[in-house]
Structure 1
Amino acid sequence: MENPIVYSPVDAGKIISDTAANLMKSAATSGWAKVKKYFKDFSAEESIEIGTAFNDYIRVTQERNSKIKTLIYRRVPKDIYSFYECVGLRLEGKVIKTSNVSDVLKIGKKILVTGTGGIGKSILMKHLFLSTIKETEYIPVLLELRKFNGMENKDISIYRAVYQTLSDNGFTLADEYYKYSLEKGGYIILLDGFDEVNRDKLKKVQEEIKSFSDKFEKNTYIISSRPTEMFIGWNDFVETSVMPLSKKQALSLVNKIEFDESAKRAFYTELSRTLYDKYTSFASNPLLLTIMLLTFSNHASIPENLNEFYEEAFTTLFNMHDATKDCYLRDIRTGLGCEEFKTVFSYICFKSYFRGQFEFTEHQLRERIQEAQSRFPLYKFTIEDFQEDLTLSVCMLVKDGLSYRFSHRSFQEYFAALYTCKLTDDVQSKLLATWFDESISVVGDEYMSMLYNLQPDKVNKIVLCPGLKKLKELYDSMGFSVELLKELFSGVHLRRLYKLENSKRVTDYTIDFGISNRYLCNILMITCKLNHFFNPNAEGIKKSREIASTWVSEREKQDPQNRYHIEPIEFDDLMIFLDKHNFTVADFLEACKWVEARFIFSFKILEKYGENSISRKKKVSSILDEL
């Protein structure tokens, strides 16, 4: 039996000062001497000059990346080590510790770090940056990929962006030295937020990452993102997933947060007793755990539903007393009531979400507020007051340097879904059909789950059923066949994976597909996700393992260095492979029974919801007015 965990106030100041002192000592004592080998020989004068620039770079970037603003610490950035909990990375059934970047570097030279919203990917990247300074002989560069959203595709360059990051922070090199140091492998390059790149920039950014990392392959690349099917084709990148907080970590995080002590103590006690076990999906996520603390302090209870969770969190933030300022009650400068403010904010979230805009310049934010102001002329407020309320009173946005970002994207997704519900059926149907056709984030984001929880029948009827009808027509004309699969998928992925079963690491083999018809694939996946598809039938699993394991074994003989063998196979090449190894088309279709099970499940949803459409209140001509 575990020893009980006892609440104990944390001396955050000591943690900050000790950590900062250790980092500074490490940087000061190693500095230029540690990384000079990655550069050509310099004259004594050049070495002193560039060495000073490097040490300045470490000092500036260390200061910049060691502090952040959060939902709790929204005014003054806090040192991350005063409250950070080092989460693990899961890979092939193993847990990789991240407290020291050296353990992460053992994974390989090209690493993907994926995780859901709020799990702590960005702060992990900052921690790895700082750990690189302290523990290694590499030059760390942290680049936020959303910075490319403001560029033309022709101007996007990882090579130039990394150089600009170095230069902007005082480490200016002649291009020949910069290129030479890249060729020598002197860098750990951390690329944060691939999922925050706008859709029209994604292909270019992906190409840049692959090209840059291939050309300068001696460096280490760590990329963070929400999960996306685009990574299936990144054959030489190892994908890891961020692990949730354990109960012990969740309690430790709460213990560290600066908050009203009596409220925090009560929450800590209940979290230890029942709340973590009852609300594990919330309490194991750092962002949601923070919101739990806020809502618990206000209501002494936690909502069961994720939508209610965000709704109550917003109401708490709108009305809350400042937990760090002697219960000083903040006023709302706009004078808007909670519902009015929420309506305007929902509109801003809706427009920015579908534009793929997760960060704003001062000008862009004012434009969004002015747009909302015009949309709701009965609500009287100034742009300046609404901007101040968003950042200081309600804390939905955080100012970070010269830009503004959501305190977390989950808020943007929830309020975008909330505003979507106000649109007519025609508008919702057409907007989301287009989005399904363009977006790679339909399944990974929480937007559709939140919209479904707000209006489940309507989502099934007006959003999913039109696509399901097209799927049914294809299925009826082709049956479950290779031809049908070709209509939806670009190719097949046969691969080996590792997983935990009864705490033991076991090997398995799977068949998966690359997406071709994005609209219909998104319809199929999201229908199953939202309607809680569950297929306990193990039919086809044995055959899929036989085919996939045969493919992996053959590829390993041809290319022993490739551990993962997840490159896609086109259907024509697959047919040749199957015939070569005495598998029939029927064998392959049997191995893909799990896909057919999803078709059949989805058609039951179509049968239930597709006959009587919801009456449409407005004509298509009103779409422009609505948007």
Structure 2
Amino acid sequence: MPGAVLAAIELVRPQIESIASGIVANFFYDQAKASRGLTYKRRKAKSASDSIKVYLERLYRECSSINTLASKGEPRPIDEIYVPITLAECNGTAKVKLDNRFRFNTIGHRIIVVDHAGMGKSTASKWVSKLIIQQGKKIPVFLEMRKYAGDEPLSDHIRSELGISADFDDSFLKGLPFFIILDGLDEVEIEASEAVFEQIKEFSHKFEKCYIMATSRPQARLGKLLDFKHWEIKPLRKSEAERIIENLDRSRSTSKELIKQVRALKDNSIRAYLKNPLYVTLMYCAFRHKPSAIPQKRHLFYNQVFEALFDTHDSSKQSGWVHEKHCGLDIDDFSTVLRRYAFTTYANGGKPEFSRQELITDLKLAGKKCPGIQFDPSRFVQDLIDTVPLFINDGCQIRWAHKSLHEYFAAMFIRMDARNSAAKILKRLTRSSNPWSHRNLIQMYAEIDYPIFRTAVLRDVLDACVKFAGDITGLPTNRQISTADLVSRKQTTFKRELRIYFRSIDERLQVPEGLEEIYESLRASNSRSEMRIFPMRHGNNEVFVLTFRDFDLEILRIASEREGSLFVGGTHDVEKPLKRLCKSRLNVQKRWIDANDFTNSANRNSNVFKAVNQLMEAILDHIPSFDSAGKILREIAYCESDDLEELIEQI
């Protein structure tokens, strides 16, 4: 264990002692009822407080260091690496910085930090756990959700983590100030996800006083946790990205030159990567390996990091000495096997962690599909952990150093080893029941091989968009509603379900009445959709907008990185349309308004119709432009009318 971590544990020991011997011991002393006398009560209380003390010391130790790709498998103290991130309430204005001054009552009792790959969710979870112990007022419980299958109540799982005896009932979770951290809801195995979310929902309702903070990539199932507020991680500022680069480089020599080149960049596409902590780390690793150039695309970051790890030399040996690979393979054959393994395991559900024997067995199967490549799977595993540290040995289990590495090698398999089937694979991924779980791989593939993505995936979405634009079924007959407003509403409701609810603030409940029923009914027909709730206030009124956003809109968003203007520009002026809606009679109807149903009474009034449009344009992202969709669809058709055969004949 690094000396810095040991020193940190000694500094925080008084806080741990205060929690265990004070708050915890007193509670359990009162709980150990008097049937066996004072001695029994003291013994049971001490047993419980000792268990929590041991847990907190272990948790603090585990959360005080992290593995990064830049550290080549060697843990670094988290305080050396961590740059405070900023959380922003989704669909709101609240912002909080996760630094040493952070106070947990500023974000609410139930939150989910929802963001994409590499934004620092797990690092933030560890840092929060460590900070809670340092503050000495709450008891953090850090749960890696990939290790929980939902086959037991979440309260029992927490009890097991803490080492609390079954002699005590669940009342300790109601009486003690717990802060439960559920890290990586997106890493729950697919077959267990329904049970896991039900257990979280039940726990949340039963133990209302517990603070709960969850992290996840976007996924449709998050909508089940209706009483959780959604927060997202703000993109890094330039100064924060530079601090991460400096923190990764103990010598400061590489970071100094990289920062100099980054500041001189004029390419906005590269600057965009500086907003994501993972890509900043990958950029540093790639530059450390090849200081002459900064990669231009995401997949090139991963490729250079792989090359850097494979070719890394030991500075304690003679110049240029490279670690011999235990398996004896060169970089091309090593990559071929790893790509096959990555795609095979991804297609089989992408198990987040596995035993050494499971990894050996899967590599042996992958090797059989790689003709002409001979290797010992057990030695290959040794390379993955030691000499090419793409994997982490986490006690009895092994896992990828970062989930996105798995997705990168799987995407490269599709591109390099299965290109004839690439279109079919992409269609299966995007049309699956849970396409959000494949989002990062799909986005990565779109960058690697955009023409295939364009014809196999994007064209179908654009075609549906153009057909939807031309469908006039159910449009309101009120002539006072302009054609422009009708087009606006059609664009807003393409692949998106919208419901609006009004009520007075003095009737305020935690969630709007009827929300759970509406959620369940919409989820049945929108299983591919991401659900969000937009709460707003004006005067004495509250307005809730419930949206189900289909994954096809995410396909358009991915395409917009190449195609440019696929979406209409919003005004982001919420106040004016909100004021207009609240002055209408809708605010006293205490019911959900279906914005997709043009025939209901709320959509017959031209002023209300326009105000709803304006509100949607202000709060929603990625509203497609029908004109842009048609234009790109025509471009795809033109590109497919290839004259290559004619050119070949002329040779």
TM bin (shorter chain): 0.7 to 0.9
Aligned equivalents of 2:623, 2:453: Cα separation in 1: 23
- In structure 2, which of residues 335, 339, 348 is the aligned counterpart of residue 342 of structure 1? 335
Do the aligned partners of residues 62 and 320 (structure 1) sit closer, same or farther apart at CA in structure 2, a change above 3 Å counting? same
Aligned equivalents of 1:201, 1:103: Cα separation in 2: 33
Q: Verify: 1:41 aligned to 2:31, yes or no.
A: yes
In structure 1, what residue type is equivalent to 2:61?
E
- In structure 1, which of residues 396, 400, 406 is the aligned counterpart of residue 394 of structure 2? 400
| Per-residue deviation, 1:99 | 2.1
261-270 or 135-144, which moves further after superposition?
261-270
Matched residue, 2:345: 352
Aligned equivalents of 1:585, 1:59: Cα separation in 2: 58
Do the aligned partners of residues 73 and 572 (structure 1) sit closer, same or farther apart at CA in structure 2, a change above 3 Å counting? closer
Aligned equivalents of 2:242, 2:461: Cα separation in 1: 45
Aligned equivalents of 1:172, 1:577: Cα separation in 2: 59
**Secondary structure at 2:565's aligned position in 1?**
coil
Deviations 1:521-564 (A, max 9, x none): 5555544465333545458x7799626973699999899xxxxx
| Per-residue deviation, 1:405 | 1.8
**Secondary structure at 1:222's aligned position in 2?**
strand
8 A Cα contact 1:26 1:134, kept in partner: yes
| Per-residue deviation, 1:394 | 1.8
Q: Verify: 1:448 aligned to 2:479, yes or no.
A: no
Q: Verify: 1:297 aligned to 2:288, yes or no.
A: yes
8 A Cα contact 1:67 1:78, kept in partner: yes
**Secondary structure at 1:143's aligned position in 2?**
strand
8 A Cα contact 1:258 1:324, kept in partner: no
Deviations 1:486-532 (A, max 9, x none): 8944443676579xxxxxxxxx99967314xx565555554446533
Structure number with higher relative contact order (C-alpha < 8 Å, ≥ 6 residues apart): 1
8 A Cα contact 1:101 1:128, kept in partner: no
| Per-residue deviation, 1:72 | 3.2
Matched residue, 1:625: none
Deviations 1:124-177 (A, max 9, x none): 1111111112214322111111123xx4x6x2542332222223xxx434341x
456-465 or 421-430, which moves further after superposition?
421-430
| Per-residue deviation, 1:16 | 4.1
Matched residue, 2:478: none
Aligned equivalents of 2:635, 2:597: Cα separation in 1: 39
In structure 1, what residue type is equivalent to 2:581?
T
- In structure 1, which of residues 183, 187, 199 is the aligned counterpart of residue 174 of structure 2? 183
- In structure 2, which of residues 570, 577, 581 is the aligned counterpart of residue 546 of structure 1? 577
8 A Cα contact 1:143 1:192, kept in partner: yes
Do the aligned partners of residues 325 and 114 (structure 1) sit closer, same or farther apart at CA in structure 2, a change above 3 Å counting? farther
Do the aligned partners of residues 532 and 104 (structure 1) sit closer, same or farther apart at CA in structure 2, a change above 3 Å counting? farther
- In structure 1, which of residues 5, 18, 21 is the aligned counterpart of residue 10 of structure 2? 21
29-38 or 187-196, which moves further after superposition?
29-38
**Secondary structure at 1:172's aligned position in 2?**
coil
Aligned equivalents of 1:183, 1:382: Cα separation in 2: 52
8 A Cα contact 2:354 2:399, kept in partner: yes
Deviations 1:34-61 (A, max 9, x none): 2345544332222222222222222222
In structure 1, what residue type is equivalent to 2:158?
V
| Per-residue deviation, 1:572 | 8.2
| Per-residue deviation, 1:189 | 0.4
Matched residue, 2:159: 163
8 A Cα contact 2:269 2:296, kept in partner: no
406-415 or 98-107, which moves further after superposition?
98-107
Q: Verify: 1:465 aligned to 2:459, yes or no.
A: yes
In structure 2, what residue type is equivalent to 1:532?
G
8 A Cα contact 1:535 1:597, kept in partner: yes
Matched residue, 2:232: 241
**Cα-Cα RMSD:** 4.1
Matched residue, 1:562: none
Aligned counterparts, 1:181-260, within 5 A = 181-184=172-175, 186-228=177-219, 230-231=221-222, 234-257=225-248, 259=250
Aligned counterparts, 1:102-181, within 5 A = 103-148=103-148, 151=149, 155=151, 157-167=153-163, 171-176=164-169, 179-181=170-172
Do the aligned partners of residues 544 and 448 (structure 1) sit closer, same or farther apart at CA in structure 2, a change above 3 Å counting? farther
Q: Verify: 1:318 aligned to 2:310, yes or no.
A: yes
Matched residue, 1:603: 630
Aligned counterparts, 1:472-621, within 5 A = 472-478=466-472, 488-492=495-499, 513-515=547-549, 518=550, 520=552, 523-528=555-560, 531-535=563-567, 537-538=569-570, 546=577, 550=581, 570=594, 578=602, 597-610=624-637
Aligned counterparts, 1:255-294, within 5 A = 255-257=246-248, 259=250, 262-267=253-258, 270=261, 279-294=270-285
Do the aligned partners of residues 262 and 581 (structure 1) sit closer, same or farther apart at CA in structure 2, a change above 3 Å counting? same
Matched residue, 1:390: 384
Deviations 1:550-585 (A, max 9, x none): 3699999899xxxxxxx9865589965726987566
**Secondary structure at 1:189's aligned position in 2?**
strand
Aligned equivalents of 2:258, 2:573: Cα separation in 1: 48
8 A Cα contact 2:492 2:623, kept in partner: no
TM-score (norm 2): 0.76
| Per-residue deviation, 1:282 | 3.2
Do the aligned partners of residues 478 and 175 (structure 1) sit closer, same or farther apart at CA in structure 2, a change above 3 Å counting? farther
8 A Cα contact 1:524 1:598, kept in partner: no
Aligned equivalents of 2:78, 2:98: Cα separation in 1: 15
Do the aligned partners of residues 376 and 52 (structure 1) sit closer, same or farther apart at CA in structure 2, a change above 3 Å counting? same
8 A Cα contact 1:524 1:602, kept in partner: no
| Per-residue deviation, 1:370 | 1.6
8 A Cα contact 1:97 1:104, kept in partner: no
Aligned equivalents of 1:555, 1:588: Cα separation in 2: 11
8 A Cα contact 1:26 1:133, kept in partner: yes
In structure 1, what residue type is equivalent to 2:162?
L
Do the aligned partners of residues 548 and 241 (structure 1) sit closer, same or farther apart at CA in structure 2, a change above 3 Å counting? farther
Aligned equivalents of 1:363, 1:553: Cα separation in 2: 66
| Per-residue deviation, 1:448 | 2.1
Deviations 1:49-86 (A, max 9, x none): 22222222222222233233222334443332232222
**Secondary structure at 1:163's aligned position in 2?**
helix
8 A Cα contact 1:259 1:323, kept in partner: no
Deviations 1:2-40 (A, max 9, x none): xxxxxxxxxx97854553332223213442312345544
8 A Cα contact 1:414 1:447, kept in partner: yes
**Secondary structure at 1:359's aligned position in 2?**
coil
- In structure 2, which of residues 67, 70, 73 is the aligned counterpart of residue 72 of structure 1? 70
404-413 or 438-447, which moves further after superposition?
438-447
In structure 2, what residue type is equivalent to 1:609?
I
| Per-residue deviation, 1:341 | 1.6
Do the aligned partners of residues 589 and 215 (structure 1) sit closer, same or farther apart at CA in structure 2, a change above 3 Å counting? same
Aligned equivalents of 2:573, 2:278: Cα separation in 1: 40
TM-score (norm 1): 0.79
8 A Cα contact 1:87 1:245, kept in partner: yes
Do the aligned partners of residues 433 and 276 (structure 1) sit closer, same or farther apart at CA in structure 2, a change above 3 Å counting? closer
**Secondary structure at 1:72's aligned position in 2?**
helix
Matched residue, 1:503: none
Aligned equivalents of 2:588, 2:136: Cα separation in 1: 35
Aligned equivalents of 1:261, 1:489: Cα separation in 2: 49
Structure 2 unmatched runs, 5+:
33-40, 476-488, 502-532, 537-541, 643-651
Aligned equivalents of 2:269, 2:558: Cα separation in 1: 26
Aligned equivalents of 2:233, 2:108: Cα separation in 1: 16
Aligned equivalents of 1:439, 1:545: Cα separation in 2: 38
| Per-residue deviation, 1:385 | 1.8
Aligned equivalents of 1:549, 1:207: Cα separation in 2: 39
8 A Cα contact 2:265 2:271, kept in partner: no
